[in-house]
Amino acid sequence: MASTYGNDLRLEEIGDGEQSGSWGATTNTNLELIAEALSFGTEAITTNANTHTTTIADGATDPGRSLYLKYTGTLDSTCTITIAPNSISKTWYIENGTGGSQSIIISQGSGANVTIPTGQTKIVYSDGAGSGAAMAEIGTLGVTNLNVSGDITVGDDLTVTDDAAIGGALTVTGVLTGTSLDISGNVDIDGTTNLDAVDIDGAVQIDATVNVGVDDTGYDVKFFGDTASAYMQWDASADDLILGGAAGIVVPDGKLTLGSTAVTSTGAELNILDGVTSTATELNQLDAITRGSILYGNASGATARLAAGGAGTVLTSDGTDLSFAAAASSSTGFFLNALQKNIAARTGGIDIVVDALLDQSGIANSDEAGYVSGSLTLSTAETTHPDPVLTSNTAPSPYVASAQYGNSASAYRAWLNNSGSYFDNYNSTTQWIQLDIGSAKVATSYRLAPSFTGTYNTTNHTFSGSNSADGSSSTTLATGSTASSSYRTFSNSTAFRYYRINATGNGGFGTGQVWQNNAVKTTKNYPFNIETVSYATGSVKTSVTVGVYATTTGSETLNTTLKALVSRDGGSNYTTSSTLSLKTTTPDGKKYFQADDVDISGIASGTNLKLKIVVTNNTCTALHGWVLDWS
């Protein structure tokens, strides 16, 4: 009877009476193959093969018989490995040791198979069922203790019924289910943690955004204090933040904003309202506030709104109630000066006309030569002009007088500022007389007068300016008619060096025209200062209110180009800074600037107050008055 190999290790089974004298060698081979079935073996797969067959050899050594079988080689796709013959029922530890990061599929017949990912090892067994044979991997592994020094990867559920001590990393790709979890170290979770309830007994550090709920679906959040019933709660249903019990809110000064408006009041300032009891109706007065109106306590002690008074009215009190009334005349400590100073808008000079019809009693002196001296009282506007007085056609420097025609009475005689001296031209209806003032400056007024009192008048004429000695490219600034006296102001902001009076008619002097021109007036450069007279206060004052009434271009820099300074010692020492601010603009464009409660305690002491107004450039075009007020 011949030998057979129909066993699970493919050992040679000697037939009865066979191999007389040699059965010992066969037996020894079988023993070696049994040992091989408990050993480690490797088998290479053809590079990039999709299929591979491992056939355990009959009665001869073969790696497929090994208990631990490692497949090697390089793959570019999953490879199906069939272990033959399909009648073998056996257990293996199979390792996918191939390169290329591909899985291998262990199969035996048409039944189930086992997939082993790259780098992993599985315990598999075959059922040896023939053509329908199946491969399976070990199911539940029951061990008393399991000590793993490397990583454990669980592809499905991991159920731990007792303590688990993990010294390295625990990587779970599926669901980790447990009745309780006690972790003494740190937990690092990169994904979303979905917890039904959280009770944290220690400190919590959160380094990113915290959201509670989602848009349109919110939840209550409540913080408790150490005092009973003290809490802060976000009430989602009411959409309100609620402070309960003894809970309060502390906001640093200047850090509270309502809407887009910052609240700049300090706690001390807001405490002024402490003890005030207001009704909703009273508080709603704030909603109805209008420009110029104020809130005050009415006769019933309730908060009421007082509408703005009419133009020129002031807020007054009868000792009980407030009202707007017509402004009263000046009283002790309050002076309103009607000084009119027209300031030409130009660089390099300031041109001033003082109207004699206005009250000048408050002006003491000015650094504009010839304008004010002591207590100013003017009889005629003309006397306020610093007219050039010439001694010859070329003196004093830089003046040069000339005329189109003339006799022995030279042109300069028109500027002797003496009614008995004059310039007499030849009998010609059209001619000119000119004054060169040395450099281009702005003129805004001029005067002509006859040399004698009587029937002689000045001539019809035009007044022009030019920057050419021959009068070319001249600009007509004013036109005058025959009169016994002619004083005119005009609007001009252009600087000229040469000013001409051009005769256009006969003044009635017989042989010609008589001109006296003491009106081509220029002034010194900025800055321009003007001071009031001293006001005796009787006692030393530490604060005053000052005001300046002016016309400006809108480009002025308050307290830099227009300043109001105060002295307590009659003008010897002044404050060095100014705090004017715009209070109102009149319908005709004039502006009233005021500085309230100016602290003057830091300057030299005294009982004689003075106000000095300083204009440093041409952004101020007119000064109309001033206010000095003290209590």
Residue 67 · residue 37 · CB < 8 Å: yes
pLDDT band per the 50, 70, 90 thresholds, residue 198: confident
The tokens for 496 are 């000229």
Q: How far apart are the first and last CA of the chain?
A: 144
Mean pLDDT over 356-375 rounds to: 30
Up-side HSE of residue 434: CA atoms within 13 Å toward CB?
23
Mean pLDDT over 156-183 rounds to: 70
Residue 360 · residue 371 · CB < 8 Å: no
Q: What confidence score (pLDDT) does residue 560 get? A: 92
Lowest model confidence (mean pLDDT) among 103-112, 518-527, 590-599 = 518-527
Q: What confidence score (pLDDT) does residue 276 get? A: 61
pLDDT over 90, % of the chain? 27
Q: What confidence score (pLDDT) does residue 441 get? A: 78
* pLDDT, mean over the chain: 76
pLDDT band per the 50, 70, 90 thresholds, residue 428: low
> Which residue in 286, 277, 292, 320 sits closest to 304, CA to CA?
286
Where does 292-375 show beta strands of DSSP type E?
294-297, 303-306, 313-317, 322-326, 334-337, 341-342, 363-366
Lowest model confidence (mean pLDDT) among 64-78, 144-158, 535-549, 607-621 = 144-158
- CA 263 to chain centroid, in Å, comes to 17
More confident residue, 348 or 267: 267
Nearest 10 degrees: Cα torsion 387, 392, 396, 402 = 70
The tokens for 275 are 């003890």
More confident residue, 171 or 220: 220
Q: What confidence score (pLDDT) does residue 203 get? A: 85
Mean pLDDT over 572-595 rounds to: 88
Mean pLDDT over 316-328 rounds to: 72
Instruction: Tell me how crowded residue 10 is: count the other CB atoms within 10 A of its CB.
Output: 22
More confident residue, 347 or 7: 7
What SS3 state is found at 621?
strand
**What gap in Å lies between CA 308 and CA 294, rounded to an integer?**
7
Give the β-pairing of 91-96 and 68-72: parallel
- Looking at residue 368, what DSSP letter applies? S
Residue 519 pLDDT > 60:
no
The tokens for 131 are 């053509």
Helices (runs of H) and strands (runs of E) counted in the chain: 3, 40
Q: What confidence score (pLDDT) does residue 101 get? A: 95
Q: What confidence score (pLDDT) does residue 227 get? A: 93
Residue 543 pLDDT > 70:
yes
**What gap in Å lies between CA 228 and CA 245, rounded to an integer?**
8
Q: Which phi and psi angles does 382 have, rounded to 5°?
A: -60, -35
**What gap in Å lies between CA 173 and CA 183, rounded to an integer?**
19
More confident residue, 482 or 29: 29
**Tens of pLDDT along 230-261?**
999 999 899 999 999 999 888 887 788 877 77
Residue 351 pLDDT > 70:
no
What pTM did the predictor assign?
0.33
**Tens of pLDDT along 17-38?**
888 888 888 889 889 999 999 9
The answer to whether the peptide bond before residue 388 is cis (omega within 30 degrees of 0) is no
Up-side HSE of residue 495: CA atoms within 13 Å toward CB?
15
Mean pLDDT over 381-396 rounds to: 62
More confident residue, 187 or 612: 612
Q: What confidence score (pLDDT) does residue 134 get? A: 95
pLDDT band per the 50, 70, 90 thresholds, residue 343: very low
More confident residue, 29 or 456: 29
Q: What confidence score (pLDDT) does residue 559 get? A: 92
**What gap in Å lies between CA 233 and CA 245, rounded to an integer?**
11
Domains of the chain: 1-142 (no CATH), 212-247 (no CATH), 250-322 (no CATH), 341-377+526-629 (2.60.120), 387-515 (2.60.120.260)
Give the DSSP H/E element, type plus range, for residue 55.
strand 51-55
Residue 81 pLDDT > 60:
yes
Lowest model confidence (mean pLDDT) among 74-83, 126-135, 410-419, 494-503 = 410-419
Residue 504 pLDDT > 80:
no
